[in-house]
Amino acid sequence: MDTTSLTGKELAAAINADTKQRAAALAGTGAAPRLALVVANDDPASAWYVKSLNRAAERNGIACENIELGVDATAADIRAKLVELSADPSVDAIMLQTPLPKGVGLDDVSPAIIAAKDVDGVSPLSLGLLATGLPGFPPATSEAVVELAKHHGVALSGKHVAVVGRSNVVGKPLAQLLLAENATVTVCHSRTTDLPGVTSAADVVVAAVGRAGLIKAEHVREGAVVIDVGTNEGEDGSITGDVDAAAVTGKAAALSPVPGGVGPVTTALLMRHVVQAAENAR
């Protein structure tokens, strides 16, 4: 069987083109969209991601400010900055980078981001809005999975989708987005009995656990669609997904590549969220 590659480059380009046009329209009124990136770590991967977001913002006509709080920042320090930014009318969107300093959990600080500026949907309020179907910003990675599937004509309505991973960042919000598309969703995790038996019964398998090569041929039925959210760094610095691509290729009808699949769509959607937040505030 030929396995179609569910690439994200074309979709990301289309989203960015729309975002850039909308950002230019806002800038024409004298108020370009403004994103605040709050960083409290010295993690190299986080630094690389912040730089990529800076570049994406610049390409799309979005003003982006990096706010470095340092690795010694306390939960109180981070909350205070997020409250300040939430109240600042010149800031349209806020993103809090992870990892956070030792002893500080995302749940300790994310409630300080108001939902109107929470463009990556990390706060409990944003997740609650998503779960209840009310307007808000979903986590961009979860949204990217759905948008990528729809872009490539992958049917979701009435289909059985197995999501491997139950994090608040991807797995749980993705389940809510898939339910909104009328999919039947099974969320799998480390305590799932007979993971291959569950996933191989699904029409679509989404891998989002952060374990390189976890999903193998035995986890996928013939002709299923596999979407890989994983980004794992190898010893040689290469990035690999949660799916053993070589093992699945030829059995799956379609597979998203890593890199080049969900990732570029995620970044594009984040930029779109920033512009939407700015439009909502005007």
Positions at the binding site: 165-167, 231
Q: C-alpha distances in angstroms, 271 versus 95, 145, 277, 282? A: 11, 16, 10, 17
Measure the CA–CA gap between 2 and 5, rounded to whole angstroms.
Answer: 10
262, 229 contact by CB (below 8 A): yes
Report d(CA 128, CA 61) in Å as an integer: 31
For the chain, the residue count is 282
| Token output for 111 | 């409630």
CA 190 – CA 209 distance, rounded (Å)? 9
Q: Residue 274: exposed, middle, or buried by beta-carbon count in 10 A (0-12, 13-18, 19+)? A: buried
Which tokens hold the place of 271? 């930029």
Close Cβ partners of 115 (under 8 Å, ≥ 6 residues apart)? 123, 125, 126, 129, 136, 137
HSE-up (13 A, CA, CB side) for residue 260: 6
Q: Which residues are annotated as a binding site for NADP(+)?
A: 165-167, 231
